Amino acid sequence: MRIYPAIDIKNGVCVRLKMGDMDQATTYGDPSDMAKKWESMGAGYLHIVDLDAAFAGTFSNYDTVAKILRLVRIPVQFGGGVRTMADIDTRLGGLGIHRVIIGTAAYENPELLSEAAAKYPGRIVAGIDAKDGRVSTRGWATRTDADPVTLALEMKKRGVTAVVYTDIGRDGMMTGPNVGAVKNMVDKTGLDIIASGGMSCIDDVRNLLKTGAEGVIIGKALYSGDIDLQSAIQTGENEC
C-alpha cells in the first residue's frame, strides 16, 4: 500500500484544515520545504491540493506548485479546481504533474472524465468526497444525494481506474479513518481506492492495509508527528 504525504496549499502556504473548513486552517510554512522534507524521508509520491482552486476554480497557486515540481523528483498527484480539459492539459502537459484528481467536474460533467481518461490513460484519478454516506462537491461546500459507490462505478465505466475517497467528517480530525467505508469501496468497485481522512496513528495504516486499499493519504498526523512517515511507508510495504 502506497503512502501519500499531503500538501494542501492556501494563499501560497502549506495548511491543514478541519473537515474542509477554510476558516479552520493551521499553517505549516512553505509548501516547497514540506515537499522536500517528505521526499527526503522516502516518500514515493506526493498528494497536493490547491484549496483556493477547489473553492474558486482558479489555479491561483500555479507558481507555488511549479516550484515544488522543480525541486522534487518524485511524481505528484494534484487536485483542486480541475474542471475543464484546458485545466487538465495545463497540469499534465504544461506543468508536468503526473496525475490529476477530478472531483466536482467528474460529478457535474462526466463526459469530461471520459475524454480525459481517453487522452491521458492512467493519469486521471476521480475524487469522491463524502460525508454521512453522500457525495459533496465544490470544495466540500455542496452536498448531493449521490452514493459514493454508485458514482465510483459510473466513473469506472468512463475509464477511470483509481479513486481518492475522502471522508470529510474525519478529515483533519485525527479520529481514525472510515475503514468500513473504504473496504466497501474496494470490494464493490474493484478500483484502486486511495483512502483519505482521519489518519491518527500507525495502527490506522495497518487497518487500511487490510481493506485492500491501493494507498492512503496522510496529512495532519504527519505534521503533528503522530505518524512517522518512514514507519508508515515501511508498514505499507512490508506488512500484510
For residues 110 and 115, give the distance between their C-alpha atoms in angstroms, rounded to a whole number.
9
Percent of the chain clearing pLDDT 70 (strictly above): 91
**CATH class held by domain 2-238:** alpha beta
Segment among 9-18, 47-56, 108-117, 182-191 with least mean pLDDT: 9-18
Residue 190: which H helix or E strand, with range? none
For residues 2 and 152, give the distance between their C-alpha atoms in angstroms, rounded to a whole number.
20
Domain boundaries, the chain: 2-238
pLDDT number for residue 240: 46
Among residues 188, 222, 193, which one has the least CA distance to residue 208?
193
Query: Which position among 52, 129, 167, 204 bears the catalytic label?
Result: 129
pLDDT number for residue 57: 77
129 is catalytic: yes
228 is catalytic: no
For residues 142 and 89, give the distance between their C-alpha atoms in angstroms, rounded to a whole number.
26
Q: Sorting pLDDT into bands at 50, 70 and 90, what band is 56?
A: confident
Place of cell 480541475: 82
pLDDT tens per residue, range 57-72: 789 899 999 999 999 9
Query: Which position among 8, 50, 52, 204 bears the catalytic label?
Result: 8
pLDDT tens per residue, range 161-210: 999 999 886 656 577 899 999 999 999 999 999 999 889 999 999 999 99
**Entry pTM:** 0.91
